[in-house]
Amino acid sequence: MSDDMVTLSIDGLEVSVPKGTHLIRAAEAAGIAIPRFCDHPLLDPVGACRQCLVEITDAGNGRGFPKPQPSCTTEAANGMVALTGASSAAARQAQADILELLLINHPLDCPVCDKGGECPLQNQALADGRGETRFTDVKRTYPTPTPVSELILLDRERCVLCTRCTRFADQIAGDPTLALVERGAKQQVGIYPDEPFHSYFSGNVVQICPVGALTSADYRFSARPFDLVSTATTCENCASGCQLRVDARHFEVKRRYAGEAPDINEEWSCDRGRFGFVSARGEDRLTRPLVRRGGELQPVTWPEALAAAVAGLTPALGSTGVLTGGRLTLETAYAYSTFARKVLRTHNIDFRSRLASDEEAAFLAAYVVGRPDVTYADLDRAARVVLVAFEPEEESPAVFLRLRKAVRKGGLKIATIAPYRSRGAAKLGAELLPAGPADVVNALAGLTADENTILLVGERLAATPGGYSALAGLLGRTGARLAWIPRRAGEIGALVAGCLPGLLPGARPVDDPEARAEVAKVWGELPAVDGLDVTAMIAAAASGRLRALVTSGIEAADFADPALVAAALKTAFVVSLETRLSQVAAAADVVLPVDLLEQQVGTFLNWEHRTGAVNQVVDHPRLPMTEVRVLAALAAALGTPLGFATPEAARAGLLTLPRYEGERASMLRIEPETALPSGVVLASWRELLDDSRLLDGAGHLVATAPPAVARISPQTRRTEGLATSTFVRLTGPKGSVTFPLVVTPTMVDDVIWVPARARDKLLADIGVDVGGAVTLSAAPDPKKEGEE
Amino acid sequence: MTDTLTPVLTRNWGTDRSWTLDAYRAQGGYAGLKQALTMSPKAVTDLVKDAGLRGRGGAGFPTGLKWSFVPQDNPNPKYLVVNGDESEPGTCKDIPLMMASPHTLVEGVIISAYAINAHTAFIYIRGEVAHPIRRVRAAVREAYAAGLLGANILGSGYDLELIVHAGAGAYICGEETALLNSLAGLRGQPRLRPPFPAVAGLYASPTVINNVESIATVPSILAYGKDWFQSMGTEKSKGFTIYSLSGHVARPGQYEAPLGITMRELLELAGGVRAGHTLKFFTPGGSSTPILTAADLDVTLDYEGLAAKGTMLGTKAMQIFDETVSVVRTTRRWVDFYKHESCGKCTPCREGTWWLAQILARLEAGEGEPGDVDKLVSVASSIGGRSFCPLADGAVACVTSAVKHFREEFEVGYTTPAWEHLPYAQSTLFAKEVRP
């Protein structure tokens, strides 16, 4: 027996657990269930509900405790003898007494309570409670429900004050605006009047509430737990790879809970992943193919639509681009990769519907694809993490939670290369390495790192020319470990599937003859030179050099120059595969409707390259086809069979490719720009809850988003003559946009930060990329202006 | 030798302007500090340990031993926190001491902080008691001005900052971990032990928390020595202490006597139960300690003697109730207090006191239902021993002990209001004025 293990006896069963393990966990290890409410394995123990009392006849020192002890706060000790309610009358009595006390003020509204049917209190009351209450006195009552945010409602009468929610808010999310107020029998969960519980993680409190006290405005009263069918799946909202449990009824998803995934999201999910699943329920859902006739999109039959697509694509073979967006499953991405190469005979394919560069593509091919180096567990153990152009709370919330846990529990030190110390960075206790967009290269060059440093790099590094080159230099110089964490769920899968103009599946460079030859066995002979990347494709399509585009799940606003995208869509022949009528689909010549993610199977690869299964949650008989099936039909109509027609077969096809052992793509070194823009430089990133179309319909969720504000330093406020203004107008070559002004002390001078896609305030509309210069001017309060 | 009063802490309470530095010095004050500063901190700790001083706040933990638990190799600062959150019904010793002789406390703080190598000390005083807070703050100002606090105290090279903190009015903040939370600006609720305050107390640093009276006793040990201290009290309960007598006693007040004095002796010193009446029951150590009756008058008032009777020395607050008192009413008032003061953290205390209070209200009003007394005892047993901190044990102690001694009187509550059974006017001190 090693020194760090202790052996004890619980209900006569001998169990060995690591030193420091609480008795309740030791009992679980022995397969013994102890009732509990406040205990939660991922929260610090509190010992508040007292439901888990056990009898300890020997504390390991030969003496027992005269009183029953809470197993959630008592550490297991060598030689300890503990008896749970299963074997001790005293423990059983204590538990029964506590249960009775918990129920005296609890309403008997189980029949109308959301939790009824999956409620620990209900279950324990049925198992161990009295048939009839002895309590004949007056119950505590409250007005109900009390909203703690637009999204989360509190029924105080049902609350057993276990403080799981308040501890979650404080310890896990770092948003301690949900707290206890009052004392004694009047103690309750509450918020400050003007500070609602706005947290990106607020939905977790609904899930961990052991009673029906916390409910979500979205799900409340919409289903009974016993009518729901649960399916495990992987979240499509970001590249974290969170495992979810999706509950559906009558062909409709009712709610999504965090799944249990200790290696990934543990038992948490962000609110976007939890509540942002209704976007396809609007009027714009596509179920029938559309073809442009006489300038208007008209519903047609599938054969008509395929014929129209063939008519447009056939003359454009070899002059077609494929834009796949970043949200496809690995299987669908592979289908597009196959479709582009095998059917359209082109390498013009790119998954990046965002700011992108050649330098980034080269870096991804050389350093990222197929080279997973860091896992969530590594973050737990890490000594130092540096965030590079990456805001985990906004861009990968599960990574944020894991980092926060490591900071709290493991002493992790975090530094962030960013223009200011964001809310998320502050919650991570991160040291700010201040850098505006143009200074990132210098910050990377000056960064001290070693092989114990983990660099978490976001996709926004592409906004800084020379950024990825500096990163490559840093990796070579220091041996630091790297994880590239994109925002979208499908980007790693798209990389692996070869959805880049210079990259074939399995990290094979297009310009490597051996690599090409391996793929050619499956796809036939391939062009030897790289295709066009996304930027080049849009420019070429707009100018008429590229004759057709096949698109999936992209939006004009995703790009730095939406007007150019619109021109490209207008000029080229466009086949759009979509779930909803988007701006892109509306401009297409042929629109082919496809299944929602919840209707198909597949795989997401998260930032760790970890496989996350996407399972079919609803199976409605009247649905379109999967994207893979539609591509297969289109390929067949074009005369070149795709080779597969289902996601499963696509996966099998990808797996038939041998593991690539050849040379990887080489890095493209770019020198940083020396001519820095004069004036105030624009910095920006997308926030978790913004104008994303995936959030359509999730009004309660979006209402909890932080207000969209512009941030500048006190110094910049003075130099720009904004000392008295509360609003600021940013002006670029194409327009201007106004934000409330917040002076942020940690902000780099001569930089302004605004959210990229605030509702109704698209940064793309002003025509300035991140890193470009904007003109600032004082603006009146738009609300007051409207009143006057 | 336990038959006389031994005024040490209370000795100067009657002198003119006893709360001033001059008055305190005139009767030998700060001699203990001067003695302490000639010794090493460890020697001071050992002296207090050897003298056998036990905590006067209720639990009776050896004070010097508590000091010796402070890990001196811990890199964090060490803190001394004095618990002056005296709020228990019946308890009235720290507040008069702080009113009458705040410098006794300040001197004790300096010596004790020196002993544990603390350079910051706090006196946490119950928020409602504005006058003692002012007195202690004035004494601290005087001490700073006289070089007894601050940098280089009396030229010794020892520095100490002393902060007087007023609580926000919560009984639970007398529980040491709740006090530390409150002092740190957190919610006044007890927290898990371990870690114990000696290791991770205030601001997660090594902290000693002692009761006002314990700390105030320290200067006398330094001034007069451990033999003098041990000459009083019993084998295991050394020294003297302040007993507060209240209720139906001829001369209520604070009586300083050696530990081990009997209740009978103490009651005689106070002139006995008010004239014409007989003792019905009394609390030995405040409302949290199980009550005793006239049959227990010969109990020795020390830690061991009362434990043998199934009760506790507690805060040595004897509330004396004569035969006119309704034990039902008394118990109800106490339970209402605990219900009001429960912090709400744990289920048994929060929900249990809510329930007990309602049953007792029914019984007092003569609206009890048959079985209510059993239910009362049963609910009390659901609470006792199951709570997070000892507050709930204190809350049910009066219930179970009162029913044990006076069950019939509670059963009267099935039919008759307590105010009819034992008219309340009879138990007031000024009953004549309201009698018809």
**Tens-digit pLDDT profile for residues A633-686:** 999 999 999 999 999 999 999 999 999 999 888 898 888 877 777 889 999 999
Does A50 contact B at CB distance below 8 Å? Answer: yes
Among chain B residues, the shortest Cα distance to A38 is held by: B346
Q: Helix B212-224 vs helix B41-51: angle between axes, to the nearest 10 degrees?
A: 100
- B348 and A97 within 8 Å at the Cβ level: the answer is yes
User: Which residues of chain B from 145 to 184 reach within 8 Å of chain A, CB to CB?
Assistant: 170, 172
Does B375 contact A at CB distance below 8 Å? Answer: yes
**DSSP SS3 for A452:** coil
- A68 and B344 within 8 Å at the Cβ level: the answer is no
Q: Answer for the pair A524, A533: CB distance below 8 angstroms, yes or no.
A: no
CB-CB neighbors (< 8 A) of B341 in chain A: 184
Q: Helix A330-338 vs helix A647-656: angle between axes, to the nearest 10 degrees?
A: 70
Query: What secondary structure letter does DSSP report for A266?
Result: B
Among chain B residues, the shortest Cα distance to A135 is held by: B355
CB atoms within 10 A of CB B181: 20
CB-CB neighbors (< 8 A) of A179 in chain B: 187
Q: Using only C-alpha atoms, what is the Rg of chain A? A: 28
Rounded Cα gap, residues A708 and A560, in angstroms: 19
Per the DSSP assignment, residues forming a β-bridge with A75 are A22
Mean pLDDT over A523-538 rounds to: 93
> Kind and range of the H or E element at B391?
helix B391-412
Question: Is the pLDDT score of A726 beyond 80?
Answer: yes
> Kind and range of the H or E element at A422?
none
How far is the alpha carbon of B242 from chain A, nearest alpha carbon, in Å?
31
Token digits of residue A279: 């976007």
Rounded Cα gap, residues B229 and B231, in angstroms: 5
Write the pLDDT tens digit of every residue in A147-158: 999 999 999 999
- B342 and A185 within 8 Å at the Cβ level: the answer is yes
Give the model's pLDDT for residue A2. 63
Does B380 contact A at CB distance below 8 Å? Answer: no
Question: Is the pLDDT score of A761 beyond 80?
Answer: no
Rounded Cα gap, residues B346 and A141, in angstroms: 19
Amino acid sitting at position A651: R
Rounded Cα gap, residues B406 and B199, in angstroms: 45
Rounded Cα gap, residues B37 and B52, in angstroms: 21
Write the pLDDT tens digit of every residue in A75-99: 999 999 999 999 999 999 999 999 9
Does A185 contact B at CB distance below 8 Å? Answer: yes
Q: Select the residue of A51, A135, A161 nearest B350 (Cβ to Cβ).
A: A161
Does B350 contact A at CB distance below 8 Å? Answer: yes
pTM, two decimals, is 0.95
Does A694 contact B at CB distance below 8 Å? Answer: no
Rounded Cα gap, residues B350 and B341, in angstroms: 9
Name which of A187-201, A344-358, A701-715, A754-768 the model is least confident about.
A754-768
CB-CB neighbors (< 8 A) of A66 in chain B: 385
Higher pLDDT, A766 or A320: A320
User: Which residues of chain A from 375 to 394 reach within 8 Å of chain B, CB to CB?
Assistant: none
Give the model's pLDDT for residue B1. 40
Q: Please give chain B's pLDDT, 436 residues, in tens.
A: 445 788 999 999 999 999 999 999 999 999 999 999 999 999 999 999 999 999 999 889 999 999 999 999 999 999 999 999 999 999 999 999 999 999 999 999 999 999 999 999 999 999 999 999 999 999 999 999 999 999 999 999 999 999 999 999 899 999 999 999 999 999 999 999 999 999 999 999 999 999 999 999 999 999 999 999 999 999 999 999 999 999 999 999 999 999 999 999 999 999 999 999 999 999 999 999 999 999 999 999 999 999 999 999 999 999 999 999 999 999 999 999 999 999 999 999 999 999 999 999 999 999 999 999 999 999 999 999 999 999 999 999 999 999 999 999 999 999 999 999 999 988 886 655 444 4
* Those residues with Cβ within 8 angstroms of residue A609's Cβ, 6 or more apart along the chain or in another chain: A370, A372, A492, A496
Chain Cα centroid distance, residue A438? 27
- B346 and A102 within 8 Å at the Cβ level: the answer is no
Give the model's pLDDT for residue A788. 41
CB-CB neighbors (< 8 A) of A184 in chain B: 339-344, 350, 353-354
Question: Is the pLDDT score of A491 beyond 70?
Answer: yes
Q: Select the residue of B343, B352, B354 nearest A183 (Cβ to Cβ).
A: B343
Among chain B residues, the shortest Cα distance to A52 is held by: B386
- A50 and B386 within 8 Å at the Cβ level: the answer is yes
How far is the alpha carbon of B391 from chain A, nearest alpha carbon, in Å?
12
- A184 and B341 within 8 Å at the Cβ level: the answer is yes
Q: Select the residue of B340, B348, B355 nearest A98 (Cβ to Cβ).
A: B348
How far is the alpha carbon of A219 from chain B, nearest alpha carbon, in Å?
29
Query: What secondary structure letter does DSSP report for B15?
Result: S
Q: How many CB pairs under 8 A join A and B?
A: 95
- A184 and B339 within 8 Å at the Cβ level: the answer is yes
Q: Answer for the pair A493, A695: CB distance below 8 angstroms, yes or no.
A: no
Per the DSSP assignment, residues forming a β-bridge with A349 are A322
Rounded Cα gap, residues A591 and A610, in angstroms: 33
Q: A86: phi > 0 → left, psi -120 to 50 → alpha, else beta; which?
A: alpha
Rounded Cα gap, residues A663 and A645, in angstroms: 32
User: Which residues of chain A from 132 to 151 reach within 8 Å of chain B, CB to CB?
Assistant: 134-138, 140
- A137 and B359 within 8 Å at the Cβ level: the answer is yes
- B350 and A104 within 8 Å at the Cβ level: the answer is no
Q: Which residue has the tokens 């107008």?
A: A729
Does A66 contact B at CB distance below 8 Å? Answer: yes
Question: Is the pLDDT score of A280 beyond 80?
Answer: yes
Q: Answer for the pair A237, A205: CB distance below 8 angstroms, yes or no.
A: no
Question: Is the pLDDT score of A381 beyond 70?
Answer: yes
Interface test with B, best of A50, A51, A103, A134 (most B CBs within 10 A): A50
Does B339 contact A at CB distance below 8 Å? Answer: yes
- A98 and B386 within 8 Å at the Cβ level: the answer is yes
Does B367 contact A at CB distance below 8 Å? Answer: no
Q: Answer for the pair A704, A150: CB distance below 8 angstroms, yes or no.
A: yes
Q: Select the residue of A68, A134, A183 nearest B375 (Cβ to Cβ).
A: A134
Q: Which of B163, B66, B155 is nearest to B119 (CA)?
A: B163
CB-CB neighbors (< 8 A) of A104 in chain B: 351, 354-355
Mean pLDDT over A753-775 rounds to: 86
Residue A559 pLDDT class (50, 70, 90 cuts)? confident
How far is the alpha carbon of B119 from chain A, nearest alpha carbon, in Å?
28
Write the pLDDT tens digit of every residue in A287-345: 999 999 999 999 999 999 999 999 999 999 989 999 999 999 999 999 999 999 999 99
Amino acid sitting at position A381: R
Task: Say whether the ipTM exceeds 0.90.
Answer: yes
Give the model's pLDDT for residue A672. 85
Does B341 contact A at CB distance below 8 Å? Answer: yes
Mean pLDDT over A770-786 rounds to: 83
Does A91 contact B at CB distance below 8 Å? Answer: no
Give the length of chain A: 788
Rounded Cα gap, residues A472 and A556, in angstroms: 31
CB-CB neighbors (< 8 A) of A51 in chain B: 347
How far is the alpha carbon of A135 from chain B, nearest alpha carbon, in Å?
8
Give the model's pLDDT for residue A787. 47
Amino acid sitting at position B337: F
- A160 and B347 within 8 Å at the Cβ level: the answer is yes
- A185 and B170 within 8 Å at the Cβ level: the answer is no
Give the model's pLDDT for residue B434. 45
